[in-house]
Amino acid sequence: MNIDSSYVNAYNVNSVTASSVEKLSSGLAINKASDDASGLAIADKLGVQKSSLAQSVENTISGVALTNIAQGGISNQQDILEKINTLTLQANTATTSADGREIIAQEISGLIESYEQIADTTTYNGEKLLKTAGDTSDDMSVVGEDAIVEISKADTTSISDTLKSFLNDFTTDPNARAGLLDAVNQGMTDLASYNSEYGSASNQLESMTRNYMTQETNTARAQSTIMDIDYGKEVSNFSKSNLLTQIGYLMQTQANAHQQRNIALLS
């Protein structure tokens, strides 16, 4: 009877040893539901939440990049409007000849083309950020785990369209030049408004990014607390069970040897 129980004890010790080896090789305290069903369920939910937060971080970082690109394009357009304003003032002075105004008009026309080229080429993943289509495709959404930031494209080409309307009579009509100056000033105001909207969205997205990164770190830490093993404790358990296994085998061998001697004496 004692021999049978030693087999049972050896089996139990071997089970503990196998479990320790599995945990040490995987680095996880829970490798299957039988290890800790409730702990595994909680860890799985935390894993899903961590993945969601990680994707939210990627989305908001992409959103910040989008707004930065848009603001860079608007800044370049503002520089062009400032040049157009300076040239128009130069054309308005009485010391500028008709030929000089013609040259200035051609230069302004080239600047407007550059302005519109910026509107055409300022894109993110193929989406034009400074030119609208006039429908719902103008709206862009940056989606986080618990919030959505809506961003509207800037209608900067409506400004250049207005500027071009004054170029036909620019060289001969002072009213056309005055109208162009007014259009430039209004355009500067509109660009500042678009820039402010993109800047506000960028600030909101940066705040969301920091928040999601903090949540992701805390979630990963919570999941690690549940799933990861205590190496020191597990190595100690493994050493203990391994020692018990050796002792069990030694005792089993000695018991079998005594039994064989008893049988030899009886025979």
Q: What is the CATH number of the domain that holds 87?
A: 1.20.1330.10
d(CA 150, CA 130) in angstroms, rounded, equals 15
Is residue 198 within 8 Å of 151, Cβ to Cβ?
Answer: yes
In a domain, 181, yes or no: yes
pLDDT (0 to 100) of residue 22: 54
Rounded to 5°, the CA angle 226-231-233 comes to 90
User: Which pTM was predicted?
Assistant: 0.73
Helices within 122-230 (DSSP H only) = 157-164, 174-227
pLDDT band (50, 70, 90) for residue 226: confident
In a domain, 267, yes or no: no
In a domain, 183, yes or no: yes
Is residue 131 within 8 Å of 155, Cβ to Cβ?
Answer: yes
In a domain, 90, yes or no: yes
Query: What is the tens place of the pLDDT at every residue in 172-211?
Result: 999 999 999 999 999 999 999 999 999 999 999 999 999 9
Structural domain boundaries enclosing 70? 45-225
Domain count across the chain? 1
In a domain, 25, yes or no: no
Q: What's the 3-state SS for the chain?
A: CHHHHHHHHHHHHHHHHHHHHHHHHHCECCCCCCCCHHHHHHHHHHHHHHHHHHHHHHHHHHHHHHHHHHHHHHHHHHHHHHHHHHHHHHHHCCCCCHHHHHHHHHHHHHHHHHHHHHHHHCEECCEECCCCCCCHHHEEEEECCCCEEEEECCCCHHHHHHHHCCCCCCCCCHHHHHHHHHHHHHHHHHHHHHHHHHHHHHHHHHHHHHHHHHHHHHHHHHHHHHHECCHHHHHHHHHHHHHHHHHHHHHHHHHHHHHHHHHHHHC
Query: What is the tens place of the pLDDT at every residue in 61-110?
Result: 999 999 999 999 999 999 999 999 999 999 999 899 999 999 999 999 99
Q: Is the pLDDT of residue 143 over 70?
A: yes
In a domain, 263, yes or no: no
In a domain, 5, yes or no: no
DSSP bridge partners of 228:
28
In a domain, 146, yes or no: yes
